[in-house]
Amino acid sequence: MFRLGKAFIRKLGLDYVDLYLIHWPVRMKPGSSIFFTKGDLLPFDIRETWEAMEECSRLGLAKSIGVSNFSSKKLSQLLAHATIPPAVNQVELNAAWRQRKLRDFCNENGIKVSACSPLGANGAFWGSFAVMKSPILKDIAMAKEKSIAQIALRWIYQVGGIPIVKSFNKERMKENLEIFDWELSNEELDQIEQIPELKGESGEAFVTPEGPSYKSIEELWDGEISKIKLPPLGIHHCDKYES
């Protein structure tokens, strides 16, 4: 992990990165790529991986270190032996996947929550239209003369998350930044709580029922998403599975 981090930073032509994250609580055989197969998966060792991240931090290769797609339980396990606590947990967080328990846990432990897929990743294979086609967000947007995207991003900001929205469109990039000089009322925040919850990315690719990695989606997320209707294994177009 440490050697990989060092090689990666050098490959970018940098001396250090501002923030270095463990993308998933997952370990793979050396040499595995983004086109990994389930045969490449190995059991994840939180302690060993985090020690390597801490080494990157101590050597100045990363100003801050953090994690991504970690449940509260995995964060607790990490915090139990960390000498440098994670600065950030980057997780799917949006108006239709509100992560109340995880947000509270991170807040209590000084971990910033970075919100990936803040608009529900509409158009991506891991995404859905649960945010961008939400009638509740549409009504609030019309009443406030804002766009649905702005309402969704402002909600994340107001609940303490850091939205990392992606757009290739210059106008939409500008629109997405215009969320700081107005706010959602308590009534509007309450309305957003009524949006049916839907998780887009299940992490099914990291599950192998026969091991040695996680044996189920519940195990990957430590049961923290078990009440949510997930798409059937192998199917990611979640707009068909709104709860």
**Where do contacts with ligand NAP occur on this chain (CB under 6 A)?**
23, 68-69, 90, 116-124, 127, 147, 149, 164-169, 172, 175-176
Task: Count CB atoms within 10 A of the CB of residue 80.
Answer: 9
The string over 158-186, giving b where at least 16 C-beta atoms fall within 10 Å of a residue's C-beta and e elsewhere, is: ebebebebeeeeeeeeebbeebeeeebee
Distance CA 74, CA 33 (A): 24
Measured from the CB of residue 116, what is the shortest distance to ligand NAP in angstroms?
3
Measured from the CB of residue 50, what is the shortest distance to ligand NAP in angstroms?
17
Give the residue from 200, 242, 206 showing the smallest Cα distance to 225: 200
Structure tokens at 74: 């995995």
Closer by beta carbon to ligand NAP, 175 or else 239: 175
* Alpha-carbon distances of 86 from 15, 51, 76, 90, 103, rounded to whole Å: 21, 11, 11, 11, 14
Give the residue from 10, 16, 105, 102 showing the smallest Cα distance to 57: 16
Closer by beta carbon to ligand NAP, 11 or else 23: 23
Distance CA 108, CA 111 (A): 8
Distance CA 63, CA 166 (A): 23
Closer by beta carbon to ligand NAP, 59 or else 196: 196
Closer by beta carbon to ligand NAP, 178 or else 190: 178
Q: Around 126, how many Cα atoms within 13 Å sit in the side-chain half-sphere?
A: 12
Closer by beta carbon to ligand NAP, 57 or else 89: 89
Measured from the CB of residue 74, what is the shortest distance to ligand NAP in angstroms?
14
Closer by beta carbon to ligand NAP, 18 or else 187: 18
Measured from the CB of residue 76, what is the shortest distance to ligand NAP in angstroms?
20
Give the residue from 67, 49, 60 showing the smallest Cα distance to 4: 49
Closer by beta carbon to ligand NAP, 147 or else 202: 147
Measured from the CB of residue 131, what is the shortest distance to ligand NAP in angstroms?
7
Measured from the CB of residue 173, what is the shortest distance to ligand NAP in angstroms?
7
Measured from the CB of residue 48, what is the shortest distance to ligand NAP in angstroms?
21
